[in-house]
Amino acid sequence: MPDVITPPPVEAPEAVVNALESSLILEPGGVQRSPRTRSGPRQPRWAFRYRLLLLLLDFLSCSVAGWTVVNTYEQAGSGFFDRDVLNWTALGILPLAWVFSLWVHGAYESRYLGLGPDEFKRVFKAIISLTAVVCFLAFTQKADLSRLSVGTVLPLTAAVTLAVRFGARKTLHVVRRRGRASQRILLVGTLGEALSVYRITTRNPNAGLVPVGICLTEPTAERASLPIPVFNGKVEPLDRVKQVGADTIAVCGARGVSPEALRRLAWQLEGSGIELVVAPSLTNIAGPRVHIRPVEGLPLLHVEEPTISGVGWLLKGLFDRLAAFFGLLLISPILGLAALAIKISDPGPVFFRQARAGRGGETIRVWKFRTMYVDAEERLAELLGSNETDGLLFKMANDPRITRVGHFLRKTSIDELPQLINVLLGEMSLVGPRPLPVKNEQFNGDSRRRMLVRPGITGLWQVSGRSNLSWEDAVRLDLYYVDNWSLAFDFMILYKTLFAVMKSDGAY
């Protein structure tokens, strides 16, 4: 499964978190406490209760939006509609229709709970469908509906629902970081495949996937130091599920499990309440590019080419330049103050122009505020032994070449703002892979693929740890962006960049 990139956690109030934990009645790991003794693993019920909570919140969100619009029209002196009819519609009928629309579009499915983009996408689809249905009924029944009221209550409903669901999701994340409200998964496969899935699932506890054991399908003498048991034998996965108390089996890759064995395992799990998921060997490909086409009972996995051209790409370029133009006008006082502070703190140029590799390997000169002393390049050789990264860039948490003003500029990411000039010139994008020095001979193999798009001021690397990332992780995130680019993906990264900048984690 692909990495789930989330913004730094927004802590929910302690009372709300405790109330949610109490309502879920969970043991550590998300297993529901049951007064009855049952054979087999106990089944988690946090998802069912959380869905009920969301359903109630969605109903109330629509009711609040409807009540607000009704009272606003009454205070404005509009007597065109019967007040009782409006109350019944706004507080009862419309909220029921709203909940039904959300349900039809999968907004209550457990696989999307806690995942912002997927969950919010279904809310948007639900409001579009409900608006279309209301307009269709008004047209066919020739109802005298106020276009202004419909155009107010439905967007307000969507806005309130998104805000409430955002708060519920952040509360769920806090509960999950405490080890609750999560799926307990048993990883099945070879050691290498299982360790790969283990690293991905444990990297983000907000996703709610907690590995509790590994069941190897191929015996190996290799040992892995893990906080969970690794079973190296021929015991059936279903028996291991009971042993570790898992509620989900995750088959990792295709090497260790044959199609026949996978089919038999699915049959065995029918009616047991234990979920079966498959982590395919095809990684770092997002859902919109993957489609299943069944042919005579054979599910063929279609992988579409990444879209790095066309109308969407033109809109991206237009948005980049407009945002850069107005952004430079808006932050010009900040740029002026930063330039003045640099000039006062250390004699030398205000800007540092460094050659970087742009789209297609073209050399571009990136605009940045100078954050180091003027002799920084000459002093680099004596500090190479203190490099804290394993890639092409030199990074050092307490680099003595950085000025006092430079530390502040880097911490707040103000030193990156002049790159809006590169965006305005079409050399860079607001969102894209990290611009790297022009050392083409060191761009080997897969890392050259990142040059298919323009480098960005921000990107997945910035919202996922910045300088705290290894070179391998940074390249992997850049390639994931190239392979799965979309306008919605860009907007999500821009949104998460705000949290990354405020947190300042990995900024040095």
- pLDDT value of position 91: 74
| Cα–Cα distance measured from residue 416 to residue 413, given in angstroms and rounded to the nearest whole number | 6
Q: For the chain, which residues score pLDDT lower than 70?
A: 1-44, 73-90, 116, 142-147, 233-235, 254, 256, 281-299, 301-307, 381-382, 384-397, 439-447, 465-470, 504-508
Which tokens is 117 given? 């983009």
- Report if pTM > 0.75: no
| Cα–Cα distance measured from residue 311 to residue 306, given in angstroms and rounded to the nearest whole number | 14
235-to-219, 243, 276 alpha-carbon distances in Å:
11, 11, 18
Which secondary structure element, helix H or strand E, spans residue 492, and what is its range?
helix 487-503
User: What is the DSSP secondary structure assignment for residue 77, as one 8-state letter?
Assistant: T
Task: Measure the CA angle with vertex 414, ends 408 and 417; round to 5°.
Answer: 160
- pLDDT value of position 75: 55
- pLDDT value of position 41: 41
Is 80 strand, coil or helix?
Answer: coil
What the chain holds in terms of domains, given with CATH numbers, is 45-177 (no CATH), 182-281 (3.40.50.720), 311-376+396-503 (no CATH)
- pLDDT value of position 295: 61
- pLDDT value of position 6: 36
* Sheet strands side by side (includes 209-216): 230-232, 209-216, 183-189, 248-252, 275-279
| Cα–Cα distance measured from residue 448 to residue 440, given in angstroms and rounded to the nearest whole number | 9
3-state SS of 263-307? HHHHHHHCCCCCEEEEECCCCCCCHHHEEEEEECCEEEEEECCCC
User: What is the DSSP secondary structure assignment for residue 50, as one 8-state letter?
Assistant: H
357-to-62, 308, 370, 438 alpha-carbon distances in Å:
50, 18, 19, 5
| Cα–Cα distance measured from residue 55 to residue 507, given in angstroms and rounded to the nearest whole number | 40
- pLDDT value of position 44: 58
